[in-house]
Amino acid sequence: MTVKLANQPLNTINADLTLEFVTPQQLMAHPQKELLVRAGFKAEAEQSCTLHEHRLMVCGINEFSDELFRSAAANAIKTAMNYAYTSLKLAQYGQTHFKALIEGIVLGSYTFDSYKSEPKPSSLVEVIFSNEDTNGSDEDTNDLEKILAQSLIISKATNFVRNLVNQTPYDMTPQGMSVVAQSLAKSNSLECTILDVNGLQDEKMEAMIAVGRASIHPPRLIHLSYKPKNPKKVITLVGKGLTYDSGGLSLKGATSMVTMKMDKAGGCAVMGIIKAVSELELDIEVHAFVGAVENMIGGNAYKPDDVLRAKNGKTIEVRNTDAEGRLVLADVLGYAQEKVKSDFIFDYATLTGACMVALGPYTTGVMGHNEALKQEWITASEQSGEYSGILPFNRHLKKLIKSELADVCNVSSKPYGGAITAALFLDNFIDENMKEKWVHFDIAGSAYTESAWDVHTYGGTGAGVRMTLEWMMHSCK
């Protein structure tokens, strides 16, 4: 679907369908009030009504805010895609809301039908924004073009991540993720380094090797780099890329194994972020590291009671092989800090079901030592349209991952605060000089959905992409 801007009044744009957003108060003065009310339309949030004889779709919105415009636009475009119309037009609702409307349309229109034998494409192929505001004034076209270009890059990067997450474990193996990374590097002029098992052994990344040992698809460490001239900041991103997680010998239940293709969402997110950064041409040097691994069972699988030595030399007592993502991240974090001296390091992982228990299925858990930095991310999350919440560290929870055999245990001794104790485990693999510059994002709840909500359809959501780009564009000036 093409989204474009027309420098002309709305009524002169040739399109099959006009989209309007109306509050309950505005409904009372609407020219088609009688027909709309007769159809049961009350302008409630996300309620829509299409007057086909007038080629008009009206969508309810409680108030003019980015969050509600984004959600309403997504709902409207999903409805319009079910019609036979090929084009849709709409006016501006103030320049400040333009980005939210674009994101609602691009993200809301996302479909993933690669595995359908007979895909059913929508007839709707074009969305046209007028530069004319609903009050009849004209918005600055140059400013609108910049917002459109930026918003399309961010939205398409989010959909790029959704596509990767939605691919099956048969198709998207660790090697498959490497191929995607190499292709991305070529198309976006990025540097790309990939380590195979021999490379991981040379780097003494025993924990990551152990997790992937029982799979016929050997692990890969992916490092993508974007290096502009004279960058203002250097940022390291680390993503958990479990292309499939069976739980290992601590085998998951059958129902828990379904959707485990989403366990690579953190690795996919960092690739989507660096894709957008390079296309936005931000003055930030970005390094994206992905630990791509498959956690399976077999005679050579790693076991509960094993003790593994991580990249930074610390030893880990394994008490549950389903707590594998943190083992992979332990090594990748160590490798990333050794290879790149950065201003900040952020990791993204579908790490714990406990984060969903704490924050619900829509919200990313934000953890780290730097309170001011975490608050910056909460703000960036709100402004981008993602949801996040801070889960606090404390010294008593840290005691729960103490090991009598090794330096640290990979799971807590008590079934409480699981998202926080997982992050505190990762803290063991953050260098002392980076403690205040590190933030951990648990996207276990926010990265995948089995029911549509907001701008999201079934499957991967691209969690982390929009909020990270928002933070970068406003905090790395």
Catalytic positions, please? 252, 326
Cα dihedral: 151, 156, 159, 161 (round 10): -110
- Please measure the distance between the N-terminal and C-terminal CA atoms of the chain and give it in whole angstroms: 33
Q: Which two tokens stand for residue 467?
A: 């909020």
Burial of 372 (0-12, 13-18, 19+ CB in 10 A): exposed
Q: Which two tokens stand for residue 203?
A: 């780097």
Distance CA 100, CA 36 (A): 26
3-state secondary structure 86-102: CEEEEEECCHHHHHHHH
* Backbone angle region of 193, left / alpha / beta, with phi > 0 → left and psi within -120 to 50 → alpha: beta
Distance CA 160, CA 110 (A): 10
Task: With H, G, I as helix, E, B as strand and everything else as coil, classify residue 19.
Answer: strand
Rg (C-alpha) for the chain, rounded Å, is 24
CB burial string 291-325: b at 16+ within 10 A, e below: bbbbbbeeeebbebebebbbbbebebbbbebbbbb
Instruction: Give the count of beta carbons closer than 10 Å to the beta carbon of residue 288.
Output: 29
Distance CA 141, CA 301 (A): 59
Helices and strands (DSSP H and E) totals, the chain: 16, 19
Burial of 92 (0-12, 13-18, 19+ CB in 10 A): buried
The DSSP annotation for 143-155 comes to HHHHHHHHHHHHH
